[in-house]
Chains A and B, each alone.
Chain A
Amino acid sequence: MADLKAQIIEQLNLQEVAPESIGNDQSLFSKEGLGLDSIDALELIVLLQQHYNLRIANPEQGPQIFQSVRTMATYITANQTVQA
């Protein structure tokens, strides 16, 4: 999950955010959490494609997968093919 956090920070250009400061279960989109928005969700879809070869065709799946770093990691583990 540490890798994933670093990737999120890089993809979204989250200046002044340290990977360890993002909690595994911290909300990514709520105001109390990281406060990401719909554009970030689209960026995260590309992140999954680039780093994990996972394609999300329907953006409406986003909110469920991108609740927290842990839900993202779970999704990646569950859907990644053997070769990746």
Chain B
Amino acid sequence: MSEKVWIAGGGVISGIGLNLQACLQAFRHMQPGMTAMQHLSSVHRNTFPVAEVKADNATLADMARMPENISRTALLSMIAAREAWQSTGLGDVSNYRVGFVSGNTVGGMDKTEDFFAEFLADPRKGRLQQVLHHECGSITELVADAMGIRHHVSTISTACSSAANALMYGSRLIRNNIVDVVIAGGTDALTRFTLNGFNTLMILDQQACRPFDDTRTGLNLGEGAGYVVLVSDSLAAQLQPWCRLSGFANANDAYHQTASSPEGTGNYLAMKGALDMSGLQPAQIAYINLHGTGTQNNDVSEGIAINRLFAPHFPPMSSTKSFTGHTLGASGGIEAVFSALSVKEGIIYPNARFEHQMKELPFAPATAYTEGNELLHVMSNSFGFGGNCSSLVFSKA
């Protein structure tokens, strides 16, 4: 039960790169991924910048070795999950008891929303193929089946914390000896459904977003997928793991369906719970990958919770969403990979476009990319609708 769980590798596809190395290059060269929409078709094309994955579905299908007509969400998932697996050197999937735990928020909605125009006009119309993979779980199964994973397949959907919760559940599956390896993370493609949904909340920035900046006015949506490979203690002994998933916690803000409480109660409880599980004091955290969406509400609540927990010793922190945009169900997975790599390579990621100190907070985000730092413990935050707050801690050993 007390067995340790390790991170044996990771993979990312996002608006700043088609693989993890390309993403790192973008951070090094301060190249955020927000542009006008190229692939998503929306009337808001010229209003809201997004961090799209810079490839059309045909290219992604080629990379994924999957059919082009399936949901972009599955294609992104496959590419990142395979990269994650290959980075571990574990070899043939069939040699292990493997689980695939993936988060996403709207399943195959990119296809469903195309289908709906015809369907609404006449319920007998529309190609059924387009809604075949509407369910969130169906996206996960497309990838699990393509990778030959059968021991455990599951999907989590808790809005923007989905993928972080996938890591927690995956870790428990290993500790309970249900499987030996879990590919855990999340995926989400841009859809008109989510773009318009966030627009109704009036929290989309028409410029590139400015997380933790006093002048921030909202978030930019992004898309992508990110997965880590969790392995048991005994399997880790045969590999060179990146780091250990030493602590995690989920808590509920129980304040409002979408907004965070002003004191960041859920945020605080999640961070505190993750620290407690890892047996660490706040001062031992060497870097925080913030949830940092760039909305007025999130950043102040998250910041106040960090202040309460960490004052007076604030570690370097940054929101990588200033590069990737908010990738929703994928964000916790993408940022888990960044955070795990942060421990391995000593990387502190920059927070782009930070200029104005938030008046509510006594600290500011890191603005430069550095590597080779000694980072023993790194925290990653993911908070979502429904008050769902998750925090993960990655440790060197």
Interface of A with B (CB < 8 Å)? 37-39, 42, 45-46, 59
Which B233-267 residues sit within 8 Å CB-CB of chain A? 256-259
A45 to B259, CA, bound (A): 18
Contact between B202 and A39 (Cβ–Cβ < 8 Å)? no
Which B residues are CB-close (under 8 A) to A37?
256
A41 (CB) vs chain B CBs: closest residue? B202
Which A residues are CB-close (under 8 A) to B46?
none
Which A residues are CB-close (under 8 A) to B202?
42, 45, 59
Which A residues are CB-close (under 8 A) to B257?
39
A39 to B257, CA, bound (A): 9
A29 CB to closest chain B CB (Å) equals: 14
Q: Is B200 an interface residue (CB 8 A)?
A: yes
Which A residues are CB-close (under 8 A) to B201?
42
Query: Which 4 pairs between the two chains have the least Cβ-Cβ distance?
Result: A59-B202, A38-B259, A42-B202, A42-B200
Chain B residues touching A, majority SS: loop
Chain A residues touching B, majority SS: helix
Which B residues are CB-close (under 8 A) to A59?
202
A45 to B199, CA, bound (A): 12
Which B255-282 residues sit within 8 Å CB-CB of chain A? 256-259
A38 (CB) vs chain B CBs: closest residue? B259
Chain A to chain B contacts (Cβ below 8 Å), 11 pairs: A37-B256, A38-B256, A38-B259, A39-B257, A39-B258, A42-B200, A42-B201, A42-B202, A45-B202, A46-B200, A59-B202
B201 (CB) vs chain A CBs: closest residue? A42
B290 CB to closest chain A CB (Å) equals: 23
B258 (CB) vs chain A CBs: closest residue? A39
A47 CB to closest chain B CB (Å) equals: 13
A38 to B258, CA, bound (A): 10
B160 CB to closest chain A CB (Å) equals: 18
Contact with A along B187-210 (1 / 0, CB 8 A): 000000000000011100000000
A34 CB to closest chain B CB (Å) equals: 17
Contact with A along B43-66 (1 / 0, CB 8 A): 000000000000000000000000
B141 CB to closest chain A CB (Å) equals: 34
A57 (CB) vs chain B CBs: closest residue? B202
A42 to B196, CA, bound (A): 13
A56 (CB) vs chain B CBs: closest residue? B202
B200 (CB) vs chain A CBs: closest residue? A42
